[in-house]
Structure 1
Amino acid sequence: MSRGKRILQYGVLPWVAALIVWQLAAWASEPDFLPGPYLTLQGAIELSKDGSLFTYILYSFYRVFTGWLIGSLIAIPVGLAMGRIRFVRALAEPILNFVRFIPALAFVTLFMLWFGIGEQSKIILVMYGTIFTVIINTMTGVLAVEEDKIRSARSMGATERQIMRHVIVPATIPYIFTGVRLAMSTSYMAILGAEMMAANEGVGFLIWNARLYFKTDWIFVGVIALGLMGFATDRLLGFVGRKLLYRYGIVFTGSLTRKA
C-alpha cells in the first residue's frame, strides 16, 4: 500500500498512461506523421551525438532566463508603484491593459527590425512577455494588503518608506512569486516564436528547421525538450522560493498556490 501511495504521489501513473496512449496512437498512424516514444528517443539520441540538442537547449535557456530575470526586476518595482500610488496607477493602467493583450509573437518582426536578429531582440521579446504578468500580480498584491495594517503602522510612527518595506512588500511577496512563475511559462512561448523566425540555434529553431526535412521525430524531441525545460525551471524556482521565502507563506506544491 505504501509503495502504491508513493507511485500516486509522484504522479507516475499519468505519465505511464500518456506513454501508452501515445504509443497506441503511433501504431494506428504512420511513423512520419506520428512517431512513437521509441522513434522519438532515437531522434533525441541522433541529435545528441554531435551535441546539437544540448546546444539548442542551452541557447534557449539562456535567452529565457536572461529576459525573464531582467523583465521581472523591471516589473516588480513598477507593480509596487502602481499599486501604492494612485496617480501612477491611473496614468499607467489604461496603457497596460491595452498592451498586455498583444501577444509577444506579434512583435517578433518589429523587434528584429528595431534590435537586429542577434540575442538582443530575443531577450527583449522575452522581457515583453514577462513584464505585464509580473506587474499585474504585484499590483494586485499591493491592493490586497489590508488597510488596517497600513493604518496601524502609520499610527506607530512608520514613514511611507518603512510601510512599503515592512508591510507592503512582505504581504505582496506571495503574489510576486506567483507572477514570476506565470511569467516563466509566457517566456518560453515568446522565445519559441523568436527562434522560429530568426535564429540559427535554439529549440524553436530545431522545431522549425525539422519541418524542412520532414523529421517529425525531431519536432517531438523539441516539444518534449521545451516541456522538460519548463518543468525543471518551475521546480527550481519553487525550490528556491520554498527555501528563501517560506516565512512569507510560500508553499510550493506544484500548483500556483499563493499561500499556505
Structure 2
Amino acid sequence: MNISGNTIFIPGATSGIGLALAVELQARGNTVIVGGRRAELLERIAAEQPGIDTVQIDTTDAASIDSAAKEVLAKHPDLNVIVTMAGIMRIEDWHRPESFLASAEAVLTTNVLGPIRLIAAFIEHLQAQPDATIITVSSGLAFAPLKVTPSYNASKAAIHMLSESIRLQLADTTVKIVELEPPAVRTSLLPGQENSEFAMPLDEFVAEVVALLEAQPDAKEIQVERVKFLRYGEARGDYDQVVQTLNAADPHGK
C-alpha cells in the first residue's frame, strides 16, 4: 500500500499499537478513523488527536460491526484501507476446562471471528476501489507458541493462514492483503507487558512498521527485525530452540 493518501479504518485502536499506528498514519497524510467499544476513550482521542475520526464498534458483536461499517462508509465513501487490529490475549491453564474454555471462546470470537466479520462488512466496497488494502494482524506467536497463551497462539496462526488464503482468492481484484506480524510490544495486552524488558518499545515498533510500509509498498508481510526470531525458526531449523527460548524468557511475550 502507499504510505499516504489513503482513508483508513482501524477498529480496536483506542490504545496500544492501534492508536499509535493511527496517529502516525494520520501524520503521514492519511485520513484515519479509529474504532473502539468505549465511548469515553473515543471522545478523548477525538479531543487529543484533531483530524482523527472515531466510531463506536464492538468487534465481538456482528450487529455492531454492520452498524459501524455503514456509519464509516457513509462518512468516508473513499475508504480504501482497513486494519483488523482488535484483539485480546489471555493466560490459560488447559489442565481443567473451567480454567480455559470461556477464555478460549472469547479469544477466538475477538481475534478470528472479529476480523472475518470486519472483512465481510467491507469487502464489496473495497473491491470497488481502484487501490485497496486489508491489513490483518497476526503475531510472532503464530509461528512459535508461548505456553501460557494457547488460544491466542492458535487465533494468530488462523489469521496467518486466513491472510495467505484470501490473498490468493483476491488476486483478481484491486484488494491487497498485508499481514502485520508483531513481536512482543510494550502495550497492556497482558498485565505488566507495557513494562516488560523483553517487549519492544511501542514507538520503536510503530516507527519501524511505517518505515517498512513506505519502503515495501508491495509487501505481503510486515515483519520488524525482532519478530524474525519467531517467524523463521522452522525455516532456519532451530524451531525447538526458539520455543524453548521463548518460554524460558518471557511470560508476557506477544
TM-score by length of 1: 0.26
The structure where strand makes up a greater share of residues is: 2
Larger Rg: 1
TM-score by length of 2: 0.26
- Indicate the structure whose relative CO is greater, using CA pairs within 8 Å and at least 6 residues apart: 1
